A and B are shown apart, each in its own frame.
Chain A
Amino acid sequence: MSELLLLIPLALLMGLAWLGAFLWSMRSGQFDDLDGAGSRILFDDGPRPAQGKSKKKE
């Protein structure tokens, strides 16, 4: 049964890591705009301060 002493804390730590990641992503506002985030990735050239870099893509 001694393996339990390792496995249970290990499982708990993994669970806690997930919980921490979720709470962090929530706090950093990643759940604020579910509609927008879904389609944002479709636009490859993310808005960047790209002065004078005019693309010719038509």
Chain B
Amino acid sequence: MSALSAIAPAVDLRDESRGACAHCGVSVPAAAGRFCCHGCEAAYGIVQGLGLSDFYARREIAPTARALRPDDEPEADLSEHVRVLAGGRYALTLLVDGLTCAACVWLIESVLARESALLKARVNLTTRRLTLEWIGAPADAMSFVRRVRALGFRLVPFGATVTETDPAERELLRAMAVAGFAAGNVMLLSVSVWAGHVEGMGVATRDLMHWVSALIALPAIAYAGRPFFRSALAALSAGRTNMDVPISIGVTLVAGMSLFETMSSGLHAYFDSGITLLFFLLVGRYLDRRARARARSSVEQMVALAGASVAVLDDRGVARRCAASRVRPGDRVLVAAGERIGVDGEVYDGRSDVDTSLVTGESVPEAVSTGAVVYAGTLNLTAPLKLRVRAVGPGTMLAEIVRLLEIAERGRGRFVALADRVARLYAPVVHIVAAATFAGWMLLSDIGWQASLLISAAVLIITCPCALALAVPVVQVVASGRLTRRGILLKSATALERLALADTVVLDKTGTLTLGRLELDRRCTPDDGALRVAASLARASRHPLAQAFARAAGPGAVCADVREHPGEGLSAGVVRLGHRRFCGVDAAEGDATGPELWLSRPGHTPVRFVFRDHLRDDAAACVAALRRMGLQVLLLSGDRAPVVSAVAGAAGIDQWVAGCTPAEKAERLAALRAAGRKVLMVGDGLNDAPALAAASVSLSPSSAADIAKNAADAVFQGELLAPVVETIVVARRARTLVAQNLALAIGYNCVAVPLAILGHVTPLIAAIAMSSSSLLVIANALRLALGTKR
């Protein structure tokens, strides 16, 4: 992992990947060779050695996924997660981080297939889980895990309590299959009965058809209707009513009345209506459930990945990895260069630079040395640090942020989805109409109670919310499908509805409005000669400022004998690149608004280079687009005022606040909410997490801190801000479509219900009305996906 040892002779070996590591694809200083680190070189060797080099041609590198770089992660003890199966077999389920495409699945499975002890090694791309089954000892797991880790994938044990797929989802799918089968067959028989009404089918044949229909439909209804019956019973026993109550009553009543009609050799039986209704409802229910399960599993993955470990030094100075939660204050901890710091502590040995951007929003790394205090969640950049732990767990800054997050989330309250609000109104209305129909026919006519009951059952069937139950889930599935294709992952089922209502957008600066990556400011660059010299030193370092040099100067030679002085700069002989003091520059010279580096060479006056955190390319355009959509745009940042003001100016934002602590951000959002505003928060840092939770809806880029992604309702990928606009556009269109669909469903009821009340609805009319309204609603929802496919 040492940056200095990676300086290979400046030979161009990059035949396939210009300037990118041949294994993980991370950009490397052009002359540093094919690999960014030894881990990658080893992983590349393993893949080549097994004859699996096709992997590199087949994979698709997702620009935003974690790079496939084998790291010096701790060897956590996995034995407590191993499950014991019958016959001396053991099983282990792990979450795979770094999995991007089917080629990764193929690589992992191919590598593990060479382990003869393994009975089964299967990667699930949807849930990103690896399931291992083997014969031998529980401890064998470590050797399998090591092989996959060596390739650069991170493996996180997943609690055995989490089942592979949701059992409720499976039950719905099974019920849907049974209902679909029954609906198709009963409909076949019904069509012949309807044709028989015209053609003059004999009574005996019609009865036979009805009996066969009953034989198929009744068991199917009993089986496929269970999810609805259960939910209706639960609601009734709690003294409430929900959408499932009219559905259950309607279906049961229809089945019962149709059976009665069949036994008394009647003209009409409604078996087809009952079972088709169930089928359509189950489709809607299943889609809804799946969307929720997907949202939940992405949250679970983020939580599992957040658990980090720490290298604790014992009395002899030997490092031992253990979970961050087991560290005690006073312990000594080693943090390697490039590792995220897991505890709050005081440096007692070492000098380094620490990237605090996730915690404070500050884009320039902070130089630390003995006596400095560093916080959990920050990233150690240049050299190893030894820390004495000050606080762990609940005492850390990280924990403080988590606490704020929980408070904010509690304050968000339960958002009631539109469909639920409609359902609350709908159920009582349906019951009253059906009861009134029965009473009306009993009092005002002399057709008898059976016929009256049949008519009121028809009313229940006709009003039953087929289209209504599909109206919302179908739009949601289509909308989230469109967003997923654009790299936007919805985590919350109601996020779309809340997004559509947003009227204010609050943006964070570093990492959200900007890329969170420093670039050399070419306008202030003195001359090309100085840049070339500086770049030749900078290529040897992984410090963000040095890497910015390498990007700006392009490929080139690396200076020999570069030494890195943590917190100060780089030197090669007498040439120095780094902090102004390090280069012997007077502290008063030049203004120091942004990050800067100085280059001193013998015989030249020291030269200054200025860096800027670049705006995302389309930041200004997106802010303008958001304005045009009627949204107010605000910038809240933890950075210093001059920097924030410059960024706000460049992006065209006139309202901005600088120097916000995490708590202040959350407070400001609470104030906006109290003023009746619906706020969309876009942020990426740890310091944004409470604000993300406090907002009525929130987005975060996939480069964000785990905790921020966890708090956000949706995560977007890529280097542009356009997904924010796209998400709002889709959310608003989805809302329009949902409203249209609800209007269609209600409009259909307005026509069909009077017919049903008057007793004109035969099974044929019911089937036509129900199917056509459902298909109409689905077709309307699909309009959201049209026009986006190329």
Over the window 120-150 of chain B, the binary record of Cβ atoms lying under 8 Å from chain A Cβ atoms (1 yes, 0 no) is 0101111100000000000000000000000
B174 touches A15 (CB 8 A): no
Contact A26 B106 (CB under 8 A): no
* Known pairs A32-B164, A33-B125; A47 contacts B53 (CB<8 A): no
**Which B residues are CB-close (under 8 A) to A36?**
102, 105, 123-126
Contacts of A49 in B (CB 8 A): 113-114, 116
Measured between alpha carbons, how far is A4 from B193 in the docked complex, in Å?
A: 13
Q: Using known A-B contacts A36-B123, A36-B124, determine if residue A23 contacts B101 with beta carbons closer than 8 Å.
A: no
Q: Whole-angstrom distance between the alpha carbons of A32 and B208 in the complex?
A: 41
Chain B residue at minimal CB-CB distance from A18: B181
Residue A6 interfacial (CB < 8 Å): no
**Distance (Å) between the CB of A46 and the closest chain B CB?**
8
* A1 and B205 contacting across the interface, CB-CB below 8 Å: yes
Q: Is the CB of B106 within 8 A of A54?
A: no
Does B184 lie at the interface of the complex (its beta carbon under 8 Å from any beta carbon of A)? yes
A7 to B280: give the CA distance in the assembly, Å. 27
9 contacts between A and B (CB under 8 A): A8-B212, A15-B181, A31-B173, A36-B102, A36-B105, A43-B106, A47-B106, A49-B114, A51-B116
List which B95-116 residues lie within 8 A (CB) of chain A: 101-103, 105-106, 109-110, 112-114, 116
Contact across chains for B127 and A33 when beta carbons are under 8 A apart? yes
B212 touches A48 (CB 8 A): no
Say yes or no for B620: interface residue by CB 8 A criterion. Answer: no
Whole-angstrom distance between the Cβ of A37 and the nearest chain B Cβ: 8
Measured between beta carbons, the chain A residues less than 8 angstroms from B165 are 32
Question: Which single residue of chain A is at the shortest CB-CB distance from B54?
Answer: A57
Q: Is A54 touching B50 in the complex (CB atoms < 8 A)?
A: yes
B328 to A: closest C-beta gap in Å: 42
Is A35 a contact partner of B126 (Cβ separation < 8 A)? yes
Shortest B291–chain A CB gap in Å is 14
Q: Once the chains bind, are A33 and B212 in contact (CB under 8 Å)?
A: no
Cβ-closest chain A residue relative to B212: A8
Q: What chain A residues lie within 8 Å of B188 (beta carbons)?
A: 11
Top 8 closest A-B pairs, CB basis?
A36-B125, A39-B102, A47-B113, A54-B51, A47-B109, A33-B124, A19-B181, A35-B126
Interface size class of B (residues with CB under 8 A): 35 or more
A45 CB, min distance to chain B CBs, angstroms = 8
Known interface pairs A1-B205, A57-B54; A34-B126 also in contact (CB < 8 Å): yes
With contact pairs A26-B174, A42-B102 given, residues A12 and B216 touching in the complex (Cβ less than 8 Å): yes
Q: Are A12 and B185 in contact (CB under 8 A)?
A: yes
**Which B residues are CB-close (under 8 A) to A1?**
202, 205
> How far does the Cβ of B325 sit from chain A's closest Cβ, in whole Å?
32
Q: How far is the CA of A12 from the CA of B212 in the complex (A)?
A: 10
Q: Which of B54, B112, B185 contacts A15 (CB 8 A)?
A: B185
* Cα–Cα, bound, A33→B123 (Å): 9
Interface residue? B442 (CB, 8 A): no
Residue on B nearest A1 in the bound complex, by CB? B205
Q: Are B174 and A40 in contact (CB under 8 A)?
A: no
Given contacts A36-B124, A48-B113, contact A43 B185 (CB under 8 A): no
Question: Whole-angstrom distance between the alpha carbons of A57 and B50 in the complex?
Answer: 12
> Hey, which chain A residues are within 8 Å of B112, CB to CB?
47
Cβ of B305 within 8 Å of any chain A Cβ, yes or no, is no
Q: Which of A1-23 contact B (CB under 8 A)?
A: 1, 4, 8, 11-12, 15-16, 18-19, 22-23
Task: Give the Cβ gap from A2 to chain B, nearest Cβ, in Å.
Answer: 11
**Across-interface contacts of A48 in B (CB, < 8 A):** 113
Give the CA-CA distance A9 to B110 in the complex, in Å.
48
Residue on A nearest B115 in the bound complex, by CB: A49
User: How distant is the Cα of A40 from the Cα of B202 in the complex, in angstroms?
Assistant: 55
Q: In the complex, what distance in Å separates the CA atom of A40 from the CA atom of B164?
A: 19
A58 to B110: give the CA distance in the assembly, Å.
17
Q: Which residue of B is nearest A45, CB measured?
A: B110
Q: Return chain B residues, CB-CB under 8 Å to A56.
A: 51
B170 in contact (CB, < 8 A): yes
A11 to B42, CA, bound (A): 61
| Contact call A40/B170, Cβ cutoff below 8 A | no
User: Are A19 and B170 in contact, CB atoms less than 8 angstroms apart?
Assistant: no
Q: Which of A22, A39, A40, A50 contacts B177 (CB 8 A)?
A: A22
B722 interfacial contact with A, CB 8 Å = no
Q: Mark B185-211, 1 if CB is under 8 A from A, else 0.
A: 100110000000000001001001000
A8-B212, A33-B125 given; name 9 further pairs at CB < 8 Å.
A1-B205, A11-B185, A12-B216, A19-B181, A23-B174, A32-B165, A39-B105, A40-B102, A49-B116
Given contacts A18-B181, A33-B125, A49-B114, contact A43 B102 (CB under 8 A): yes
Cα A38 to Cα B124 with chains together (Å): 12
Q: Could you tell me the distance between the alpha carbons of A31 and B101 in the complex, rounded to whole angstroms?
A: 18
